[in-house]
């Protein structure tokens, strides 16, 4: 990691720490929050173990290419930024806080922030070409408006159930990757309905 990358990463961490002043309690049931946290934790663990090494190898290969005149060099050992929800931040803190060599290595390179924190920092300290970092997002939309439910008619709900959408993606290592996974919440636990779903229209 270059000095410029380290400075950018430290700046993002400081910005998030200073900006994260909203201490309002989540008014959702504890079981719902726990389920969201578990799904996001499982995704992050799998992503770290199976996808990130390949992404970093692709990034290292990209860094060997010649940079356009006047552009900054692409760091072969970029910072890693996870944007997620409050439940995702808690899940990431638990996972990256483990005292084993691999997690310590990842922890030193990660900033785990909300999307709003990330976007506001990047407005002041842009890294449009991802020269300094890889961005990964993973968040659960637990309030999918009922008017959007017809897009998922192949996976009907029972009374009292609701759809969840887990949206993930990565930018900064080769082509940008985006995925959506359809879940349902049945009041006690979350159930996967369809991984890698094609959303027929934007779910807002």
Question: 23 phi and psi, to 5 degrees?
Answer: -105, 15
Which one is predicted more confidently, 202 or 138? Answer: 138
Mean pLDDT of 132-160: 93
Query: Is residue 48 packed enough to be buried (19+ CB in 10 Å), middle (13-18) or exposed (0-12)?
Result: buried
- Least confidently predicted of 18-22, 134-138, 139-143, 199-203: 199-203
Mean pLDDT of 180-191: 95
- The confidence score (pLDDT) of residue 19 equals 86
Phi-psi region of 202 (alpha: psi -120 to 50; beta: other; left: phi over 0): beta
Closest CA to 183 of 155, 146, 148: 155
- Strand 79-83 vs strand 110-113: parallel, antiparallel, or unpaired? parallel
User: What proportion of the chain, given as a percentage, has pLDDT over 70?
Assistant: 91
**E strand spans, 49-116:** 79-83, 110-113
Average pLDDT along the chain: 90
Closest CA to 74 of 138, 147, 12, 4: 4
Please say if the pLDDT value at position 69 is more than 50.
no
Closest CA to 138 of 90, 65, 82: 82
Question: What digits encode the pLDDT tens for the residues 13-38?
Answer: 999 999 886 545 678 899 999 999 99
- The confidence score (pLDDT) of residue 8 equals 97
Provide the pLDDT confidence category of residue 74 given band limits of 50, 70 and 90: confident
């Amino acid at each position: 990691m270059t000095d410029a990358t380290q400075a950018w990463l430290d700046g993002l961490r400081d910005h998030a720490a200073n900006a994260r002043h909203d201490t309002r309690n989540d008014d959702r049931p504890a079981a719902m929050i726990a389920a969201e946290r578990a799904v996001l934790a499982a995704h992050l663990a799998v992503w770290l173990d199976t996808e990130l090494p390949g992404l970093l190898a692709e990034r290292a290969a990209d860094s060997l290419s010649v940079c356009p005149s006047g552009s900054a060099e692409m760091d072969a050992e970029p910072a890693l930024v996870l944007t997620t929800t409050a439940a995702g931040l808690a899940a990431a803190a638990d996972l990256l806080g483990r005292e084993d060599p691999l997690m310590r290595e990842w922890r030193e390179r990660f900033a785990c922030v909300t999307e709003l924190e990330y976007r506001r920092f990047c407005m002041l300290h842009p890294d449009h070409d991802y020269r300094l970092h890889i961005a990964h997002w993973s968040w659960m939309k637990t309030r999918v408006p009922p008017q959007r439910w017809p897009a998922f008619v192949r996976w009907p709900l029972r009374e009292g159930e609701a759809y969840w959408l887990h949206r993930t993606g990565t930018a900064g290592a080769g082509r940008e990757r985006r995925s959506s996974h359809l879940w349902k919440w049945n009041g006690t636990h979350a159930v996967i309905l369809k991984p890698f779903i094609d959303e027929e229209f934007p779910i807002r």
